[in-house]
């Protein structure tokens, strides 16, 4: 993933330049929201936590804990911490309600419904993974980050991320198969 944010913009952000911060927010807020939403499965809470991520970003700048290398990795890391805090407070939420905010990318209503169902299975299956496995799936395949970025955010080595993604995909596959199986059984 390209950060898309040049150095001058980031430097200005560190000086609380409103235009630079607004640009950063517009660029990253939707991604951070997606990441948080997939991790906790609650759109309302995801909205609040996304706001918290950006407030934490300002606090980190104020406390001279700004990014040193990758800005996007640093921001996702804040989001990761915010989610972890949330899990600690309330326990991991495994119920991922079907959300009306799913965006249909398909014109054909029948295909769209089918896809939405498939997407729903996927969301549910990701919600059933361990926290680490879910996170690697979200960061790597939904957010499109590189192994190095994922490793930085999760505090792991790239080698560990490779192993984790293998186990995560294998678990996800099993859960999807079992989901499919139970749907078939319900139909019979």
Partner 1 sequence: MSRKRGIESALDKCLFHLQEGDSIEECLARYPKLVQELEPLLRVAVQAQQLRGRVSAPKEALAAGRASFLNQAAILRDERERSRTGTLSRLRDGLRVAWAGLARRRGLTTIAASVLLLFGLLGGGTIASANSLPGDPLYPLKRASEQVQLALAFGSETKAELRDSFDKRRIEEVHSILEVRRETRVRFKGTVLRIADDQWAVSGVDLVMETDTTVEGNPLIGREVHVEAVTRSDGRVIARYVRVITPVTPPATATPVPTATATVTAEPTNTEQTAPALAPVTPTSEPTATQSSSKRKPKRTATPKPTSTPQEPTPSLEPTEVETATPTPTLMEPTPEPPRDVKVKFEGLIREITSASWLIGDHSVQTDASTQVLEEKGTAEVGAWARVKAIRRQDGSLLALQIIIERASETHGEPVEFRGVIDHIGDTEWTVEGQSIRIIDSTVIEGTPEIGHVAEVKALRLSDGSLTAKHISVKPPELQEVEFEGVIESIGDSIWVVDGHSVHIDGETAIQGNAWVGLSVEIRAVVLPDGTILARHIRVKSPTIEPSATPIPTTTPPPTPTPEPPTATPTQENPTEPTATPSPGQDQQAGPTVEAAN
Residues 2 to 41: which contact partner 1 by CB under 8 A? Answer: 15-19, 21-22, 25-26, 29-30, 33-34, 37-38
Whether the Cβ atoms of residue 38 and residue 127 lie closer than 8 Å to each other: no
Question: Does the CA dihedral 140-101-53-20 come out positive or negative?
Answer: positive
Residue 105 contacts partner 1 per CB under 8 A: yes
Structure tokens at 22: 């607004």
Q: SS3 for 111-162, per residue? A: HHHHHHHHHHHHHHHHHHCCHHHHHHHHHHHHCCCCHHHHHHHHCCCHHHHH
Cβ distance to partner 1 smaller for residue 100 or 186:
100
Cβ distance to partner 1 smaller for residue 9 or 74:
74
Q: Considering the complex, what minimum distance in angstroms separates the CB of residue 185 from partner 1?
A: 21
Q: Measure CA 95 to chain center.
A: 16
Residue 71 contacts partner 1 per CB under 8 A: no
Of the candidates 40, 46, 96, 150, which one interacts with partner 1 according to CB under 8 A?
Answer: 46
Residue 65 contacts partner 1 per CB under 8 A: yes
Residues 126-185 binding partner 1 (CB under 8 A) are: 126, 130-133, 135, 137, 140-144, 147, 152, 154-157, 159-160, 162-167, 169-170, 172-173, 176
Secondary structure (3-state) at 107: coil
Of the candidates 84, 98, 113, 183, which one interacts with partner 1 according to CB under 8 A?
Answer: 84
Q: Considering the complex, what minimum distance in angstroms separates the CB of residue 9 from partner 1?
A: 14
Of the candidates 9, 40, 42, 67, which one interacts with partner 1 according to CB under 8 A?
Answer: 67
| d(C-alpha 165, C-alpha 176), whole Å | 16
Whether the Cβ atoms of residue 146 and residue 69 lie closer than 8 Å to each other: no
Helices 71-90, 43-62: inter-axial angle, 10-degree rounding: 120
């Amino acid at each position: 993933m390209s950060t898309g944010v040049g150095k001058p913009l980031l430097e200005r952000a560190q000086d609380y330049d409103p235009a630079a911060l607004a640009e950063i927010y517009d660029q990253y807020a939707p991604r951070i929201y997606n990441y948080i939403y997939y991790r906790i499965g609650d759109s309302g809470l995801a909205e609040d936590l996304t706001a918290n991520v950006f407030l934490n970003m300002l606090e980190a700048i104020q406390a001279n804990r700004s990014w040193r290398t990758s800005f996007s990795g640093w921001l996702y890391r804040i989001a990761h911490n915010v989610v972890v805090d949330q899990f600690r407070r309330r326990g991991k939420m495994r119920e991922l309600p079907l959300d009306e905010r799913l965006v249909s990318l398909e014109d054909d209503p029948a295909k769209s419904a089918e896809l939405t169902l498939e997407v729903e299975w996927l969301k549910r299956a990701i919600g059933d993974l361990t926290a680490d496995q879910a996170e690697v799936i979200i960061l790597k395949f939904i957010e499109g980050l590189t192994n190095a970025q994922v490793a930085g955010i999760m505090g792991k080595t790239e080698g560990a991320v490779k192993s984790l993604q293998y186990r995560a995909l294998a678990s996800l596959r099993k859960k999807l198969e079992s989901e499919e199986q139970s749907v078939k059984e319900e139909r019979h």
